[in-house]
Amino acid sequence: MIAQGLLVKRTNGEEYLLTTEPNRGTCSHRLVVATKVNGQWKPVEGVQEVICREALIGAFLDFVVDLCRVLNSADPQQVSEVVPVRQPSSGVRHATGPALRRRGRNCQ
């Protein structure tokens, strides 16, 4: 699986995507905000982009906090049974272990 960015849906149904793209002429990347218009992702520009980007980063941080709460409340035995992520020769990262197989997830 490859993460394309952070998808956030507002209560009114609007969808926003926070992703990255290469900075032209440099070796760095920048954050980009896009919104769905008629089924197509269109970049948000100007002052609205800054406002949306800050709100999306806040939503991401809220998600990470919730994720940490879930992980901290997990059964310690279940967590210890998960094998750490390994780097196979193909360069694709994946996780395996009894806890993942037990839930029927195939992360490979």
At 13-58, the pLDDT tens digits run 899 999 988 888 888 888 899 999 999 999 999 999 999 999 999 9
Confidence band of 108 (pLDDT split at 50, 70, 90)? very low
Q: Is residue 55 part of a domain?
A: yes
The DSSP string of 1-14 is -----EEEE-TTS-
How many structural domains are present in the chain?
1
Specify whether the CB–CB gap between 67 and 61 falls below 8 A.
no
Q: How far is 47 from 55, CA to CA, in rounded Å?
A: 13
Here the tokens at position 13 are 């149904």
Range of the domain at 33: 6-102
Q: Is residue 19 part of a domain?
A: yes
Q: Is residue 1 part of a domain?
A: no
The confidence score (pLDDT) of residue 80 equals 56
pLDDT digits (tens, 9 = 90+) for 54-103: 999 999 999 999 999 999 887 665 655 555 555 544 444 444 444 333 33
The confidence score (pLDDT) of residue 107 equals 30
pTM over 0.75: no
